[in-house]
Structure formats: structure tokens, C-alpha cells
Structure 1
Amino acid sequence: MASSTTRRPSWRTVTPVLAVAAFGLAACTSSQESSDVAGTTPPVWTSSPAPAGEAGGHGSTPGGREGDDHGASAEALEVELKDGAGADVGTATIIAEGNHLVVTVEAQGLTPGFHGLHFHQNGTCEGDFTSAGGHLQVGAADAHPSSGDLTSLQVGADGTAKLVTRTDTVTLDQVEGKSLIVHSGADNFGNIPPRYTREGGTGPDETTLSTGDAGSRVACGVVG
């Protein structure tokens, strides 16, 4: 009778089998889920919190400003508006956003109605504010409205106003050090029809073209 022998598994055979089994177990217990977006693999976090700065997405910063070509400039110019007696009547903030400026004006203690609002040539606010010169003009000197003309400020019955307006006719550098003026009346922006009759002719006269018939200057502040 032939003797029987028992063959023990070689370690060379057992080791690969164990490795395959361990890999299969790890794959089954992974918390990673497949993504339905082509070419992506979702991030997988275990018990540890997400690394600092990654919660808002790749490359993001608070406010979402980084890499945003349309975000507002970090630089802002401020204006303190005062009336002829030196009392505070409002503030203005000017920032660059893309290829234009955003001007925000908040005011109080003004007469209800529309008030002309313009950047003026000089950065002085003395006396009746005529020291501020005429409307700021960049480029063609005879252009109307002027480069410094802004949307009129509408004051409510309680004497307060808030305006957010935009302009692409001037830059931050061009208004810095100039003055911002609030006028007593509404601005017609030189929009007088040719049929309008005046002494000496028809259409807008020089005063209308240069001031918009906005009247006197009731508040002024230097942009800085």
C-alpha cells in the first residue's frame, strides 16, 4: 500500500492570496462613492475635518473674491459731504468694479426732491462751493453730459436719500482729490429740445449746458 503524504501550502502561494483578499476587503469598506460627473473623483474625508481653507472649494477665499475678474476693487475712496454751514449731511463711497465706478451716496437733512450730483474739477469746498470749479470733464471739452455728471440724488419727504449708481466715464484716479457736489435742484443734463425758446435763440443756453440748470451748490466733499 502506497504511503500518502500531506502537502502543506507554500508561503509563495499563500501570500498573494492574502494580499488579494485584503485589497478586496479595503475596497468594500471604503467610504468613497463614485461620481456621476465625467472625469472627477469626489474628495473623501474620514473622521478628520476638512483641511483649513478647503471648505469653500478649491482656491476660494471668504467672499469669493479670489480669481473673480468681476469683483470689486479692494480700493475705495470716501467722501464726507457737508453743507454751507459745515454740518455733516452725508457720505459717499466710490469703488472700481470692472471697467466702471460704483458710487454709493447716503444723505440726510436735504430738501425733498431731485438734486443734481456731480464730480467737480477742484478738490476744494469753500464758501458757497464755487471754489470746486465746473463739472469734471475728461476728454472732449464740449461733451454733454460732462464726464463728472452722475445720476440725480432723490431725497425723500423725510430729508434722507440713498443712491447707488455707476459711471464708466471716469476712473478712480481721475476723481481722487476732486470734489463731489450736491446741487439744490434737478439736473436736466442739457436735455433741452431744439424747439425750446429762450432769449437770444432756441435750444439750451450756455448755463444749461454747463450746469444742467441744477441750481446752487448745497453740499460738497473732497474725494479721498
Structure 2
Amino acid sequence: MAPSTTRRSNWRIVAPVLAVAALGLTACSNSQESSDVKGTTPPVFTSSPAPAGTPSGLGNTSEPRDSVSATLKDSSGATIGTATFTNTGGHLEVVVEAHGLKPGFHGLHIHQIGKCEPNSTAPAGGAPGDFLSAGGHLQVGDNNTHPASGDLTSLEVLKDGTAKLTTTTDAVTLDDIKGKALMIHAGADNFGNIPTRYAPAPDAETLATGDAGARVACGVVA
């Protein structure tokens, strides 16, 4: 009888093992079966740069925004402000910050030549003056109307002499203004807006300068 008892004991041990094995085979056949096909496991990135070829939307997706800037200085060489021009999809965003200026509105223009020389003469000659080396207002292509291509929104200075302006323009591009000069004038610009009742018409000086007066600060755009 001993041999028979031994066989029954062995069967009791083997049966659960077979059941576990069968369950394992069933589990591997469901829809959660793992795969070694590339791309089926979502990529996980740490703070390190995303691998080359990572699809957009994964990792850092910010696009570089091209920009240029200018440091604005007065005729003594003191820095009185900064300006930044940023390409933002079809137009430029312009941010100007300044201090130490007379309160009120000041003409703000891009000029033809990137030379900010105090006590200099204009390209066409004549009496010297501050920053005349920068030439006249920038015109792009065949444009000869007023306001000029380089005319920007006037800079309004507060009572404490500080100013901050954020404006836009699509009359020029970054390529148009690189190497040119940004100018702040002593007075406001009328942009050639002389009503016809003040006949006969705006004179050449008014159209050329906007009657904005002397040039008080200048910076080369780079």
C-alpha cells in the first residue's frame, strides 16, 4: 500500500504547479501582451535635451525668435536707454526703455545710417550737430510717403524722466534695420499730418523731420 500512497501525494503536489503554469499561459495571451515593436512604448525624457528626431510636442518646443537691439546714448556718451526689435511672425515688436529725458512726447525713428556721432555733419553736408551723421529717416524700397518706413510710435516720457514703449511695425524687417540707427528726438513728431487748411502744404523740412527737433539720443541697431 505504501507505493500507492506515495503516488497520490506526488499528484497533490504536481497538480497546483500545473494550474499555475496554465494560468500564466492564459495571462500572456490577453490584450496586455508586451511587444518589442519600436514606438509602442511612449518615450520618457528627463531634464536632459530630447533625443535627436524627437517629434514636436515632446521635450522643449519653444522656437528661437530673431531679434536685434540698440543701446541709446546721449551726446555725452552716457547710456540713457535700450531698444529691442523682435520678429514675431510678419511684423516687428519694438520695446524701448529710457531715462533722463525731458517729460512729454519724443519722436522715435530709425535713421538711414548706423553712425551715432556727436557734433557731426549730415551726409549731404552743412552745419554740424549731434548725430547728424545718421542721415535722414529710413525709407525702404520705393516708399517715399510720410510717415517714413522708419517712423515709429512716439515715445512718451513721464514726469520722472523715464519712458517705456512697446509697439509694432510691419513697415520694416530685421534685415532692413540691421546696421541702421535708432534716434530719439527732443520734441514730438507730427508725422507730416498738416491739415490742408494750413495751406499751402507742409514744407520739405516738416516732411523730412516731422518737426521733432534736435537729436538727443542715438543707438546703432545690431
What TM-score, normalized to structure 1? Answer: 0.71
Amino acid at match of 1:169: A
Which of 104, 112, 115 does residue 106 from structure 2 map onto? 115
Deviations 1:91-115 (A, max 9, x none): 1112211111111111000000010
| Residues 14-163 of structure 1: pairs in structure 2 closer than 5 A | 16-20=22-26, 50-52=44-46, 58-61=57-60, 64-66=61-63, 73=65, 75-126=66-117, 127=119, 128-163=130-165
Amino acid at match of 1:58: G
Amino acid at match of 1:155: V
Does residue 221 of structure 2 align to residue 223 of structure 1?
Answer: yes
> How many angstroms apart in 1 are the aligned matches of 2:134 and 2:79?
18
> How many angstroms apart in 1 are the aligned matches of 2:58 and 2:27?
39
- What residue ranges of structure 2 are gaps of 5+ in the alignment? 1-7, 33-39, 51-55, 120-129
- Paired residues, number: 185
Secondary structure at the counterpart of residue 152 of structure 2: strand
The runs of at least 4 aligned residues of structure 1 exceeding 6 Å deviation read none
- What residue ranges of structure 1 are gaps of 5+ in the alignment? 1-5, 28-40, 45-49, 67-71
Deviations 1:166-210 (A, max 9, x none): 11111111111110000011111111111124xxx2x32222211
The Cα shift of 1:60 comes to 3.5
Amino acid at match of 2:206: T
Secondary structure at the counterpart of residue 149 of structure 1: coil
Secondary structure at the counterpart of residue 150 of structure 1: coil
Is the CA contact (8 Å cut-off) linking 2:183 and 2:219 kept in structure 1? yes
Question: RCO higher in 1 or 2 (8 Å CA, sep ≥ 6)?
Answer: 2
Q: Give percent identity, aligned residues only.
A: 54
Amino acid at match of 2:219: G
> How many angstroms apart in 2 are the aligned matches of 1:58 and 1:121?
42
Relative to its length, the structure with more strand (as a share) is 1
The Cα shift of 1:141 comes to 4.2
> How many angstroms apart in 2 are the aligned matches of 1:159 and 1:139?
36
> How many angstroms apart in 2 are the aligned matches of 1:170 and 1:79?
16
CA shift in 2, pair 1:18/1:139, >3 Å: closer
The Cα shift of 1:154 comes to 0.6
Does residue 169 of structure 2 align to residue 172 of structure 1?
Answer: no
Deviations 1:108-136 (A, max 9, x none): 00000010000000111112111110000
Is the CA contact (8 Å cut-off) linking 2:143 and 2:149 kept in structure 1? no
> How many angstroms apart in 2 are the aligned matches of 1:51 and 1:78?
35
> How many angstroms apart in 2 are the aligned matches of 1:162 and 1:117?
12
Deviations 1:4-49 (A, max 9, x none): xx9x899xx965554225767x97xxxxxxxxxxxxx9x69xxxxx
CA shift in 2, pair 1:58/1:139, >3 Å: closer
> How many angstroms apart in 1 are the aligned matches of 2:28 and 2:58?
36
Which of 174, 193, 196 does residue 195 from structure 2 map onto? 193
Secondary structure at the counterpart of residue 108 of structure 2: strand
The Cα shift of 1:142 comes to 2.1
